[in-house]
Amino acid sequence: MSRINEIIVKYDSSPSCLIPVLQEIQKEFNYLPEEALDAVSEKLGVPLNQVFSVATFYNAFSLDPKGKFVIQVCMGTACHVRNAPKIVSELERLIGINKGETSADNLFTLETVNCLGACALGPVMTINGKYFGHLEVNKIETILREYQ
């Protein structure tokens, strides 16, 4: 809780800094804990329902804990037609989770996204923002080993 208070104070407890405060808390904890949202509401003087509205509106925020490594697989048209669904299936098999879930050891979170903006590299995925393009199912296990 002290780290959350440090972040809020850093922004002078200004209600106009709601999004930057939430971004920094998300970066620190890899999600937005409920107690953090309560503290943000109280310290910034922003109604709790407004804090929750912002936290649930933006995809960058998560109310659920995420793994140390967040894997995002592009499911946009260019990637989809180049076998992105098979990439997702292989990741699910290797990690032992379904898309939208976090592994029991909190190492991986698997997400699908509409576009990663790298259509020429399709199918493409990112792990904590690092891009992996021209993916093939047989390359996935080798990539994951770098993060285990």
**Mean pLDDT per 10-residue section of the chain, whose length is 148 residues:** 89 90 93 95 95 91 92 96 98 97 95 94 96 97 95
Candidates 124, 106, 105, 128; CA nearest to 115 is 124
The whole-number pLDDT of residue 33 equals 95
The whole-number pLDDT of residue 78 equals 96
Structure tokens at 62: 């998560």
Give the predicted TM-score (pTM) of the model: 0.79
The whole-number pLDDT of residue 13 equals 82
Chain centre distance of CA 130: 13
State the CATH architecture for 69-145.
Answer: 3-Layer(aba) Sandwich (3.40)
The whole-number pLDDT of residue 63 equals 94
Q: Where are the beta strands (DSSP E) in 1-147?
A: 69-74, 108-113, 125-127, 130-132
Give 12's Cβ-side CA count (13 Å radius): 3
Amino acid at 148: Q
**Domain residue ranges in the chain:** 2-57, 69-145
Region of residue 100 (phi > 0: left; psi between -120 and 50: alpha; otherwise: beta): left
The whole-number pLDDT of residue 100 equals 93
Which residue shows structure tokens 């995809």? 59
